[in-house]
Amino acid sequence: MAERSSIPERQVDVLVVGAGPAGLGVAARLAKLGVAPLVLDREPVPGGLPAQCEHPGFGLWVFRRLMPGQEFAARLVERAVRAGVRLETDVTVLEVTPDRTALAVSPSGIVRYRAQALVLATGCRERPRSTRLIPGARPAGVFNTGVVQRLHTFLGLLPGREVVVVGSDDISLVAARTLAQAGCRIAAVVEERPYRQGYLVNEWWSLRSQRIPLRLGHRVLRILGDGRVRGVEVALCDATGTPVANPYEIPCDTVIFSGEFVPEATLVAQAGIPADPRTGGGPLVDQEFQTELAGIFACGNLVHAADPADYALMDGERAALGVWRYLMSPPSGGELVQPVLPGPQVQAVVPQRLRWAGERLDPVRLAVRVEPALRAVRLRAVVAGQPWGWSLAPAAKPHRSVYLWLRPARPRDAPIVVEARGWPIV
Amino acid sequence: MIVSASGSCFTCRGDAVGGMPEAYDYDYLIVGAGVIGCAIARELVRSPVRVGVVEQGWDVAEGASKANSSILHTGFDAKPGTREARLVAEGWWLWQREAPQLGVPILRTGAVMLALDDEQAQELERWRRNATENGVTDVELLTRDRVLALAPAANPAVVSGLLVPRESVTCTFTATVALAEQAAVNGAAFHFGRRVTGIERSPDGFYRVLTDRGPFTARWLIDAAGLWADEIARWAGADGLVITPRKGEFLVLDKSARAKVPRIHLPVPTPISKGILVAPTANGNVLLGPTAEDIDDKRDLSVTASGLQRAREGALRLAPALADEPVIATYAGLRPASPVGDYVIEIHAHDRLVLAAGIRSTGLSSALAVAREVVRGLLEAGEPLASSESPLRPRPRRSWAPGQPRPCTRPELVAADPSYGRVLCLCELVSEGEIREALRAPIPATTLDAIKKRTWATAGRCQGFYCTAAVLQFVSRELRVPLSGLTKSGPGSPVVGPPVESRGRRSHG
């Protein structure tokens, strides 16, 4: 990248990249612990993805009530700034190096930051239409939910008039409702899996109240249209994606590909931080969200895209303790690393390893993604053939984490295998 | 189109239309602003003549020039003795000379043709002879070890290979835009968004080209209409030209794949097709494709499930190591194929008609040579044109071209203009500064696709997830047009819908 010599350098104790819930969570907690972090965000408005959400559903964990995303984001920003966090927006981090420097550009110039500890909290994004390899024409009017939210919240615009939403997780369902209330006609919500991904209560609240049809087990076979979307061709399909009924056309001028979040891991890959393909490229972390590179931490939906904002915030607060410990006593070596491995019916587990130094006995929280979707789920951690911890959940779906708390396991030199049991949801 | 549809052309020079009491608008009217049309326009404006370009799309490079592999061919695999072989070979050298001043990137990556079994290995010798016949004498047969050293991602089953050191990679967007801009600053007038609907001849032999938004008159008509060249030729009175669209589907891989693909990977061609290749791009991505499928509809640019699958499988046969690399985009292009099997370049002196047609997949490579060939033909027909060495005014410099460091990474540029420090597209690191340059260029970008072609904004791994709203907002502010007036590719392709009517009603319904 740019030449080092001509670029001013600044020393900071802790640099946080990304002012979403995770980044603000780290920063606010660190500030309370007496460390003054600097948070950089490339957007003009801090707060991450919640800042572009006008719908309620945020803040139960920290603020003890549900509030719209915008309000949640604003309160997190206010809380962080009041705690003494320095926050700079419109700053894009171009490059991160393993020795904890970050090259950043803003309208006022290019700066290289040297940090004692670096926290990546760059969040996640939805997979675009092209990555999903959806056939058909490539007209205007094809969006991700995130884009539609921004158009709506920041620019006061609707994406179109007649909308088909592809995906049925909670974000998709809420987007359908928001657009319906703002004046769009939602022709259908289409889901390729045979089951709804979001919560049942959300289906009632978002779709049924608006009389929006939900087409389960349907795939988009083709997008139609020249200049602008004219419709989508869909069909009921089996698990392999083969149509089992006649395809039909849903006329619309807008298609929104929703959900299917992946980590925004550009900096992780660029810096060469070891990543976990099972999470879609998020970095490998330990229970304190430290990556494989000492002093570089990563948390929030960058490590497990996409869990609710409140969980990203919780990550941030836990990561702050890790950062603080790292600053107080950088690792002296000799610690024990215990891998956490996905077992049967588990797609991914975060953290991917536990690091043990001395005789600390903090309990550990594992975020587990199952595959396939299960009902009446029992998660179990097994160490050296011995069950070590378990938890129950009424249901688990691949796009959301379910959690498992563990006491520090012994022996600590054998891997922990996490497995899930339950009835497949079909 | 971003500028609301006023119907006027964007780059009309004052003296090009009207002004003079002439009986016609242009000495030469070119139909089609693809790479061929733009190259011909640029060659003609070396002389003090009036050149017009009429294009149905709202930007240059909206047809075959928009969706190809961006490879700059040496012509080693062309059929010897054909016009295509000669012009591709000449075009390669012309591009080497012209690219620096045009600001067009050329990466001399070289290509490796991979023989995956003994039968194919025997074919290589034939292709080596073919290359030599076409004047490409620096090709080299490779042992398996050499192949794997030069193409580390190649299929381990590879038997042997053929190295074509001069096969290069350029950028079809940048190349076409650069040619058009240099033509424009030297006096060519571009008329976008005008579909030719008929052609009439006046008794004194002038052409009257009817479009859906008004006619043009011209002394000469130059048919560079790509897929529609047959229709234009027929209207102009030249029968016999047949153009059939041949669809090619491509996948674009994220930049992480680029390090694995230092060179173009070619399959051994079959009698039917050059086959599906793997190529680096000037912007640091990797292309897989194209398929080759003859279709009927000249507007069918859709990608298909089977086509994408074939493109991917074909490419992975050459380079299985790319299997896990993420796909960030897909597209389809139509090559204007002619049954003649060669370029159709004809100068009808009596009718004052030029055909530059049937230029299939090598048009980007040969464009500069085709333009010269056309001018040579016009000179022979007695047209008083200047030599091809007459100087041209340069095109304004851009702060970025594919493959170069982004302005936002250059301290001196950011210090000089803070808009280079405000990054809008975060995957491709496109700043406000580059987008402003595209909006104010000699051929101004007027659609989001046009901005994408010039800056790559929204073309990275997130495909606009983070930046679409910011780019729209910036463009709207910069051009002072409402957001609802912004389009993807011209009228009929609005990017967004209507404003939200009552903002109070929604929040807690």
Q: Are residues B233 and B365 in the same domain?
A: yes
Average pLDDT estimate for B408-415? 96
B488 part of contact set with chain A, CB < 8 Å: yes
Mean pLDDT of B19-35: 84
Taking CB atoms and an 8 Å limit, are B464 and A128 in contact across chains? yes
Does residue B175 belong to any structural domain of this protein? yes
- Same domain, residue pair B313 and B345: no
What is the complex's ipTM, to 2 decimals? 0.94
pLDDT cut 90: percent of chain A above it: 88
**φ/ψ (deg, to 5) at B202:** -85, 165
Asked if B482 reaches chain A (Cβ–Cβ under 8 Å), the answer is no
d(CA A27, CA A34): 11
The whole-number pLDDT of residue B14 equals 37
pLDDT at residue B16 in the model: 40
Return the structure tokens found at B38: 């733009």
Interchain proximity A184–B411, CB inside 8 Å: no
The answer on pLDDT for B492 being more than 70 is yes
String of DSSP letters for B85-144: HHHHHHHHHHHHHHHHHHT---B---EEEEE-SHHHHHHHHHHHHHHHHTT-TT-EEE-H
Q: Are residues B265 and B182 in the same domain?
A: no
| Residue B190 reports pLDDT greater than 60 | yes
Question: In terms of Cα–Cα distance, which of A154, A70, A183, A230 is closest to B476?
Answer: A154
Q: Which of residues 313-372 of A touch B (CB under 8 A)?
A: none
SS3 A359: coil
Instruction: Give the pLDDT confidence of A195-237 residue by residue, as tens digits.
Output: 999 999 999 999 999 999 999 999 999 999 999 999 999 999 9
Mean pLDDT, residues B432-455 taken together: 98
* Mean pLDDT value across chain A: 94
Specify if B506 maps to a domain. Answer: no
**Which CATH number applies to A335-426: 2.60.40, 1.10.357, 3.40.1440, 3.40.50?**
2.60.40
Residues B140, B253, single domain; the answer is yes
Domain hosting residue B254, numbered range: 111-165+244-337
Q: What is the pLDDT of residue A412?
A: 81
B286, B280 in Cβ contact below 8 A?
A: yes
Predicted confidence (pLDDT) per residue in B369-387, tens digit: 999 999 999 999 999 999 8
The pLDDT of B426-455, averaged and rounded, is 97
Residue A409 confidence (pLDDT)? 66
Same domain for B206 and B253?
A: no
If asked whether residues B363 and B275 sit together in one domain, one would say no
CATH class, A128-259 region: alpha beta
Closest-approach residue (CA) in chain A for B463? A128
Could you tell me which of B75, B46, B33 has the C-alpha nearest to residue B366?
Answer: B75
Pairing of strands B423-425, A374-383: unpaired
Number of domains chain B contains:
3
CATH at residue B323: 3.30.9.10
Given B297, B312, B337, the domain boundary residue is B337
Residues above pLDDT 70, as percent of chain B: 94
Q: Choose between A361 and B10: higher pLDDT.
A: A361
> B155 and B57: one domain?
no
Same domain? B344 vs B440: no
Nearest by CB to B509, from A133, A147, A181: name it. A181
Task: Please tell me if residue A68 touches chain B, with a CB cutoff of 8 Å.
Answer: yes
Q: Which of residues 304-363 of B touch A (CB under 8 A)?
A: 304-305, 308, 324, 326-331
CB of A67 within 8 Å of any CB in chain B?
Answer: no
Give the model's confidence band at B508: pLDDT under 50 very low, under 70 low, under 90 confident, else very high: very low
Rounded to an integer, the average pLDDT of A355-383 is: 89
Residues above pLDDT 70, as percent of chain A: 97
Give dist(CA A140, CA A242) in Å, integer: 27
Residue in chain A closest to B509 (alpha carbons) equals A181
Least-confidence region, from A401-410, B191-200, B247-256: A401-410
Question: In the A/B pair of chains, how many CB contacts fall below 8 A?
Answer: 180
Distance CA A199, CA B421 (A): 42
Mean pLDDT (chain B, rounded): 93
Residue A229 has a CB neighbour count (10 Å cut-off) of 27
Q: Are A241 and A256 within 8 A, CB to CB?
A: no
Which of B409, B447, B484 is best to mutate for the A interface (most A CBs within 10 A)?
B409
Q: Which residues pair with B72 in a beta bridge?
A: B168
A257 vs chain B: nearest CA distance in angstroms? 11
The yes-or-no verdict on residue B509 having pLDDT over 50 is: no
Mean pLDDT of B294-310: 95
Q: Judged by CB atoms within 8 Å, which residues 255-294 of A form the interface with B?
A: 264, 266, 269, 277
Q: How far from each other are the two terminal CA atoms of chain A, in whole angstroms? A: 50
Cis check: omega of the bond before A98, within 30 degrees of 0: no
Q: Domain of B480: which CATH number?
A: 1.10.10
Range with lowest mean pLDDT among A60-74, A265-279, A404-418, B108-122: A404-418
- Are A323 and A100 within 8 A, CB to CB? no
- A152 vs B contacts (CB less than 8 Å): 500
User: Does residue B430 surpass a pLDDT of 90?
Assistant: yes
Tell me, yes or no, whether B17 and B80 share the same domain. yes
At residue A359 the predicted structure's pLDDT band, cuts being 50, 70 and 90, is low
Residue B503 has pLDDT above 70, yes or no: no
Is A7-127+260-331's fold the same as A128-259's? yes
Does residue B464 lie within any of the structural domains? Answer: yes
Residue-wise pLDDT tens digits, B197-234: 999 999 888 999 999 999 999 999 999 999 999 999 99
pLDDT value for B501: 74
**Residue B97: its pLDDT value, please?**
97
pLDDT band at B15 (very low <50, low <70, confident <90, very high): very low
Residues B195/B185, Cβ–Cβ less than 8 Å: no
Does A7 contact chain B (CB < 8 Å)? yes
Provide mean pLDDT across the span B30-44.
98
Which of B291, B428, B465 is best to mutate for the A interface (most A CBs within 10 A)? B465
pLDDT for B418 beyond 90: yes
What are B108-129's pLDDT values in tens digits? 999 999 999 999 999 999 999 9
pLDDT (average), residues A150-165:
96
3-state helix, strand and coil shares in percent for chain A, rounded to the nearest 5: 25, 40, 35
Sign of dihedral through CA atoms B7, B11, B12, B16? negative
Residue from A67, A106, A147, A220 whose CB has the most chain B CBs within 10 Å, to mutate: A147
Q: Where are the domains of chain A?
A: 7-127+260-331, 128-259, 335-426
How would DSSP label each residue in A220-231? Answer: EEEEEESSBEEE
* Reported confidence tier of residue A410, pLDDT bands at 50, 70, 90: confident
Q: Do residues B82 and B139 both lie within one domain?
A: no
Q: The domain A7-127+260-331: what is its CATH number?
A: 3.50.50.60
Residues B480 and B417 grouped into a single domain: yes
Q: Choose among B9, B68, B80, B71: nearest CA to B34.
A: B68
- Which segments within B351-495 are labelled E, that is strand? 353-357, 423-425, 430-431
A353 neighbors A339 (Cβ within 8 angstroms): yes
Residue listed under structure tokens 């991450």: A48
Q: Do B408 and A159 touch (CB under 8 A)?
A: no
Sort out which chain A residues have CB atoms less than 8 A from B506's CB and list them. Answer: 54, 178, 181-182
Q: Which residues of A414-425 are buried (b: 16+ CB within 10 A; e: fewer)?
A: eebbbbbebeee
Boundary-marking domain end, from B367, B395, B423:
B395
Q: In 3D, which of B333, B121, B410, B195 has the Cα closest to residue A110?
A: B410
Higher-confidence residue of B388 and A410: namely: B388
Distances B473 to A159, B169, B446, B451 between C-alpha atoms, Å? 14, 34, 14, 13
Q: Is the pLDDT of residue B3 over 80?
A: no
Task: Report the gap between the CA of B193 and the closest CA in chain A (Å).
Answer: 13
State the pLDDT at residue A407: 85
